[in-house]
Structures are given as structure tokens and as C-alpha cells.
Amino acid sequence: MGTSRTLLLAGAAALSLAGTAAFAQRGADGQVNILYWQAVSILNPYLSSGTKDIQGASVVIEPLARYDENGNLTPTLAAEIPTLENGGVSADLTSITWKLKPGIKWSDGTDFTAADVVFTWLYCTAEGGGCQQEAKFGGVTNVEAIDPLTVKITFDTPKPVPYAAFTGGQGPILQAAQFKDCVGAQAQSCSQQNFYPVGTGPFVVKDFKANDVVVYEANPNYRDPAKPAFQTVQLKGGGDAAAAARSVLETAEFDYAWNMQVEPEILNAMTAKGNGEIVAAFGTSVERFDINLSNPDSALGDKRSTLEGGVHPFLTDPKVIRALSLAIDRQIIVDAGYGPNGRVTCNIVPAPDFNVSTNNDWCKTPDVAAAKALLDEAGWVPGSDGVRVKDGKRLSILYQTSTNAVRQGTQALIKQMWEELGVETELRNVSASVFFGGDPSSPDTFQKLYADVQMYTNNFDGTDPEAYLSSWRCELIPSPANNWLGENMSRYCDPAYDALVAELGKTADPAKRSELAIRLNDMLVQGGAVIPLVHRATVASAKANSLGGVIANAWDSELWNIADWHRVK
């Protein structure tokens, strides 16, 4: 690091001599050091859907269009965004035609054409390829190259929102020439291609060490000759969030660090030193409780936490859920664990504004007395040890989450709030990689939910909540039958909800879509499937003062505009 900093200083000195025109020169600003404390494993978003991997790849490979910081789709490789008005989207909503920007070259100097776009579709949908973004191509029947600069995507049914494929960090275009031998089962053994993809983005991979570090250098064939300002990028992994914050804000060894899940007082003390700041952007991330509506009793054996095993002894009563929600003082949780990177929320769809419900705002003002009254009314009365009982059942909750300092703090706070209510609470934390790992043989995954409630954060890509809200359909309940493959952790099952989701899938009118989204959100919150807690900043990163051009973007990869990043003089 010492040497790179010297180089940087030398570069800066040379620039200040050269005068004002200096910053419009590719590679003039030396190296930028970025820290992702969870290291990048692979640079192919089609084989790994981890945020870190998608973002690491977004520096190199690009989609046709990206979301900007306001959630609007802006063209990258495309010449413009196809719409009904400009004729890009067919009137019957069954096809979309993208015009590509002319003159774009891959980093190896060859031309980027519509054939690469078609290949990317074939690559992801090939048998045996294990493509993790296959859902983005749901309903796509054909992708064809009309001419080298025109791609037409055809759908099996009318698509009110036809922009899922080839947009955002999850939909970059792969080079057909490089990946032609990696289709299908071969995808698994193409480590050279997966580590060193050829792209159209501002940087190319120079050195890749899996789960450790990626070094990029400026792409000589990038479409804007004045960009990127940095000659090299180092994307280092390892350590934890607090250490990453220190490396940017205190020791200044790094210019940018991702995902600052650190207690606010620590961040405040660090930013007070004046080396840098926290940049935040709010997307759709909500820290929430999944309520287990099925019975997690271990005596049930294989039927544990499945609907076949029976319903939960007390969490299916919406009054209990409402009481649990009312007892939580969310502002205390925000102040203790999130600071400026969190806001109180009562909705599972927290953004954008036109989709946000106001019907659940009662939860913003905690009211222990009302919560107690609700439980009394539901027949739960305090027993001799202060824990409420009804029909011989104790109001005792096993509360699990992933291991992380902020979450354990929240657990402790909520445990106290609930115990004040007369609800016994037992805490458990599971290593994040096990918890979110989805390994069907582990009893600790969030799909298994061998607990009464669990807390974690989830979000959706882009601004449209349809796919997200449809994950609470009956058919997506994880169970042994589908190898615990499902997103409906709450085991929420309501035919009316499923019908409303189907209606949303057919509605094109934006106002009507918002109205449906709000209704679905309210069904989940009021039906007791979830208890929303905190609307979290999607981007909460530490940035050194000397780094310019960073625009926090909650709707796409954080590194979406790295071509514009530069050294502030």
C-alpha cells in the first residue's frame, strides 16, 4: 500500500503542474482502493448472486441499461430506453426491442454486437448451466438479433414491466466469443472465464484472487476516452465492518468501504476525525420479522415448521402479532443500531414513495399498555412467573437471527420489550453464511425456520415490487417436498392474496399497480406474516474525502458509476 500511495502522490503532483485540463484524462488519478469486507468469490453474476460478486463484476461487464440514483432506467449499452411511446415496446406488451449504442468495443478490441446479447440469454437459459439469474428471463420465449445493433425480446404473455432482462447489476452482457465453450454444464469448470471476464465496462480484471482481492485496470477500449479517471482499482476483501470503517475513516488506507453495519456511535467517532464520511441511499431494504405461522415444535420430526405439521400454537392470532409489534419501540432500535442508516418503518414495501402504505403507521408509536390490553383480550393472562399463558400454552418465543453485533443488540432490546409484555423470549444467533446459506441439511437456515420468529433484511431489485410480493404465495412455502426451496418463510397462505398477486401481474397502469402493491403490503402486515422494523439504507458506505464522483445508488450496483470516480484535488 505504501508504494501505491507514493505513486498516487507523485501522480497528483504531476497533475497539479500540468494544470486544469488534467482530470479529463484516462488513468490520470492512479489507484483507488475499495474494501468489501466480504470478499469477491467469482466475477460472473450468472453463477453467483451474492451482492459482493454482482458488484465486483459490475465494474467490468455492463447491462443494456442501469438504474440511476433515483431509480430511473438509464441507457448504458443501449442507445435509449424502449417505451410504448417510442415504439420500443410493442402495443400488445409482448415484445421489447432494444437499440444498441453504435461503436462499443469489448476490452479485447472486438465489436460489441446484438449477438452477444442473444448469447447471454442462451448462456443463462442453457440446460445444466445452473444460472442464478434465470428468473430475469422468466416468460422470455425468444431473444433475436434483428441486426448487429438491434435486439428483440419476445414474451409468452403481455409484460406490463418488460425491463427485467439485461438491466441492472444482475443482467450484464457476457462476450459470446469468450464464453462460447462455457454453456451448460461446462459453465462450472470455466474458472478462467469466470475470474477474468471480458467486458465493455470502464475496467478490466488484471489479477483475481478468489475470496481475497481483485485488481482492475482501466479498459483501453472504453467508450469514453476521458474515463475512467483511475488507472487501477484494488477491491480487497476480508475483516469485518468496523475494521473496514477504520481503514477508510481513520488510517485512510482505503478510499471506499462497503456495507458499514457498525454501531452509530463508533461511526460518529470515526467520521469526526474528518478523513471521510458515510454515504447512504435508501432503497427497499427492510429489517423485519418473519413470523412462523407453522408449528416449529421439534417433537414433530420431519413435519416441523411445515403446514402439514399444523399451525403455530399462538402466532397465527393477528392480535398477538399486533401486540408484539406495538410493544417494540422502533426508534430505540434505530438509535442503538443504525443511526442515520436506518428509519422506522411499518411496511414491508418501504419505497418508492408511491408504493408506500400509510395504513400501518400505528406501529410507529409504541404502546405497551395497548399491547397488554390486546393480549388480555385474546385470552393470554400472566401466569405465576409473569409469562402469559392460555389453555396451558406459554407465550414463549424462540427468536433467531444471523450473527452480527447490531442484530444481537436489537435482539437484546426486543427481548426486553417483549418480556415487559409478559412474553418469554429466547435468543439464538446463527452464522450468516449458514443462516442464509440455504443448505437443506442444516437445521439453522432461514428457510427451515426452526424457531418462532426470525429477523433479517430483505429487499427487491429495481422499483417494482411485483416479484417480491409474489414470494408470499402459498406455492412458495419452503417444505421438504420442494427441498426447502422457497421464499415464503412465514408459511403465509391466503388464496385472496394469491389472486391479488395474479391481478398485479396483469395490470399495466402505474396508479393501479401502486394501489395493488399497497393492498398486498397491508395484507402481509395486518395478516401477521411479518413485523417490519427498520427501513435500512441499501448503501451505507464509508468514503474518503479525497474520492470524488461517488453517487450512492440504492437501485443498482454501488459501483455503477465508477467510471466517474476521481481523486479530489
Q: How far is the CB of 432 from another protein (least distance, A)?
A: 8
Residue 434 near another protein by CB under 8 A: yes
Per CB under 8 A, the list member of 79, 122, 145, 213 interacting with another protein is: 213
**472-491 positions binding another protein, by CB under 8 A:** 483, 485
Q: Characterize the bridge pairing of strands 547-548 and 530-544.
A: unpaired
Interaction between residue 6 and another protein (CB under 8 A): yes
Q: In this complex, which beta carbon is closest to another protein, that of residue 444 or of residue 464?
A: 444
> CB of 274: closest distance to another protein in angstroms?
14
CB neighbour list of residue 171: distance below 8 Å, 6 or more residues apart: 45, 63, 64, 133, 136, 164, 165
**Per rule CB under 8 A, is residue 368 in the interface with another protein?**
no
Quote the CA–CA distance of 444 and 455 in Å, as a whole number: 13
Residues 321-360: x where in contact with another protein by CB under 8 A, - otherwise, as a string: -----------x--xx------------------------
Give the residue from 268, 282, 288 showing the smallest Cα distance to 341. Answer: 282
DSSP assignment of 367-436: -HHHHHHHHHHTT-EE-TTS-EEETTEE-EEEEEEES-HHHHHHHHHHHHHHHHHT-EEEEEEE-HHHHT
Our finding on whether 433 is near another protein (CB under 8 A) is: yes
Reported in sequence order, the residue ranges of 307-374 that DSSP labels E, i.e. its strands, are 342-344
Q: Does 389 bind another protein (CB under 8 A)?
A: no
CB 30, min distance to another protein, A: 15
CB of 484 to another protein, least distance (A): 8
Question: For another protein, which is the closer residue by CB, 79 or 213?
Answer: 213
Contact between 365 and another protein per CB under 8 A: no
Closest distance to another protein from the beta carbon of 320 (Å): 22
Q: What is the DSSP letter of 250?
A: T
Residue of 102, 128, 220, 340 interacting with another protein (CB under 8 A): 128
Toward another protein, which CB reaches closer, 126 or 474?
126
CB-nearer residue toward another protein: 92 or 302: 302
Least separation in angstroms between residue 39's CB and another protein is 7
Cell of 364: 410507529
Nearest-approach distance from CB 163 to another protein, in angstroms: 23
Closest CA to 177 of 99, 120, 242: 120
**What track of x and - describes contact with another protein for positions 48 through 77 (by CB under 8 A)?**
xx----------------------------
Query: How many angstroms separate the CA atoms of 436 and 447, rounded?
Result: 8
Q: Which of residues 296-315 bind another protein (CB under 8 A)?
A: 298
Taking the C-alpha atoms of residue 75 and residue 66, their distance in angstroms, rounded to an integer, is 6
Residue among 42 and 328 whose Cβ is closer to another protein: 42
Number of Cβ within a 10 Å radius of residue 544: 23
- Gyration radius (Cα) of the chain, Å: 25
85 phi and psi angles, rounded to 5 deg: -65, -45
- Among 193, 167, 152, which residue's Cα sits nearest to residue 42? 193
Extended strands (E) in 179-275: 203-209, 213-218, 232-237, 256-257
Choose, by CB under 8 A, the member of 80, 156, 207, 224 that binds another protein. 207
CA dihedral sign of residues 9, 7, 32, 240: negative
Cβ proximity to another protein, 6 vs 70, nearer residue: 6
Which positions from 437 through 466 interact with another protein, judged by CB under 8 A?
A: 437-444, 450
Binding residues with another protein: total (CB under 8 A): 84
Residue matched to cell numbers 482501466: 218
What is the footprint of another protein within residues 235-274 (CB under 8 A)?
Answer: 236-240, 242-243, 246-247, 250-251, 253-254, 262-263, 265-266, 269
Record the cell numbers describing residue 253, joined without a space.
488506507
Torsion sign, CA atoms 372, 376, 380, 382: positive
- Nearest distance in Å: CB 81, another protein: 30
**1 or 18, CB closer to another protein?**
1
Q: Least distance in Å: CB of 239 to another protein?
A: 5
Cβ proximity to another protein: between 401 and 514 the closer is 401
Selected range binding another protein among 89-97, 180-188, 341-349, 384-392, rule: CB under 8 A = 180-188
Q: What is the DSSP-derived secondary structure letter of residue 440?
A: T
47 lies in the binding site for another protein (CB under 8 A): yes
* Distances 16 to 9, 19, 305, 339 between C-alpha atoms, Å: 11, 5, 65, 39
473 SS3 class = coil
CB nearer another protein, residue 190 or residue 368: 190
Q: Does residue 387 interact with another protein by CB under 8 A? A: no
How far apart (Å, rounded) are the C-alpha atoms in residues 271 and 248?
Answer: 10
**According to CB under 8 A, which one of 25, 94, 110, 429 is a site residue for another protein?**
429
83, 86, 365, 416: which one binds another protein (CB under 8 A): 416
Stretch that binds another protein, among 16-24, 45-53, 172-180, 454-462 (CB under 8 A): 45-53
